[in-house]
Amino acid sequence: MPSKEIAGTTIDVNEEGFLTDRSQWNKDVAAALASEEGIELTDEHWKVIDFIEADYAEKQAIPGMRRMNKVGGIPTKDLYRLFPNGPIKKAARISGYPKPASCV
Amino acid sequence: MSDEPIKKVSIIVSKGSLEGVYPGLIMANGARMEGIEANLFFTFFGLHAIVKKKMNNLKVATVGNPALCVPDAMGMAMPTILGAIPGMSAFATMMMKKEMEKIDIPPVDEFVEMISDAGGKIYACKATVDMFKLKDEDFCPQMDGVLTVGDFYEMSAGSQIIFT
Asked if A69's CB is within 8 angstroms of B114's CB, the reply is yes
Q: DSSP 3-state assignment of B156?
A: coil
- The pLDDT value recorded for residue B1 is 55
Q: Which residues of B touch A80 (CB under 8 A)?
A: 32, 117-119
What are the pLDDT digits (tens) for B152-162?
Answer: 999 999 999 99
Question: Is B44 within 8 Å of B14 (Cβ atoms)?
Answer: yes
- CB–CB contacts below 8 A, A to B: 44
Q: Which residues contact A76 (CB under 8 A, 6 or more apart)?
A: A65, A68, A69, B113, B114, B117, B118
Q: Which residues of B touch A69 (CB under 8 A)?
A: 114
**Nearest CB to B104 within list A64, A75, A84:** A64
**Which element (helix H / strand E) includes A10?**
strand A9-12
Of the CA atoms within 13 Å of residue B31, those in its CB half-sphere come to: 27
Question: Residue B135, exposed/middle/buried by CB under 10 A (0-12, 13-18, 19+)?
Answer: exposed
- The pLDDT value recorded for residue A1 is 66
Maximum pairwise Cα distance, chain B: 56
Nearest CA in chain B to A63: B104
Q: Which residues contact A80 (CB under 8 A, 6 or more apart)?
A: A87, B32, B117, B118, B119
Give the integer Cα–Cα distance in Å for B78 and B81.
8
Asked if A85's CB is within 8 angstroms of B35's CB, the reply is yes
Q: Is the pLDDT of residue B33 over 60?
A: yes
Q: Is the pLDDT of residue B3 over 90?
A: no
B164 — pLDDT class (breaks 50, 70, 90): very high
What are the pLDDT digits (tens) for B88-142?
Answer: 999 999 999 999 999 899 999 999 999 999 999 999 999 999 999 999 999 999 9
Buried-state track B88-124, b at ≥16 Cβ within 10 A, e below 16? bbeebbeebbeebeeebbbebeebbbbbbbbebbbbb
What is the value of ipTM here, to two decimals?
0.89
**Digitized pLDDT (tens) for each residue of chain A, 104 residues in all:** 688 888 888 999 999 999 999 999 999 999 999 999 999 999 999 999 999 999 999 999 999 999 999 999 999 999 999 999 999 999 999 999 999 988 88
**Nearest CB to B33 within list A75, A77, A89:** A89
What are the pLDDT digits (tens) for B59-82?
Answer: 999 998 999 988 888 889 998 999
Identify residue A4 by its one-letter amino acid code: K
**Nearest CB to A86 within list B35, B106, B113:** B35
DSSP state of B75: S
| CB-based contact, A101 to chain B, within 8 Å | no
| CB-based contact, B101 to chain A, within 8 Å | no
Mind telling me how many Å the CA of A8 is from chain B's nearest CA?
Answer: 30
Give the integer Cα–Cα distance in Å for B30 and A101.
12
Asked if A104's CB is within 8 angstroms of B103's CB, the reply is yes
B152 in the Ramachandran plot: left (φ > 0), alpha (ψ -120 to 50) or beta?
alpha
Task: Report the catalytic residues of A.
Answer: 103
Taking the CA atoms of residue B20, residue B58, residue B152 and residue B26 in that order, the dihedral angle to the nearest 10 degrees is -60
Question: Is A37 within 8 Å of A31 (Cβ atoms)?
Answer: no
Sheet strand arrangement including B145-147: B145-147, B121-125, B37-42, B8-13, B160-163
For all residues of chain B together, what is the average pLDDT? 94
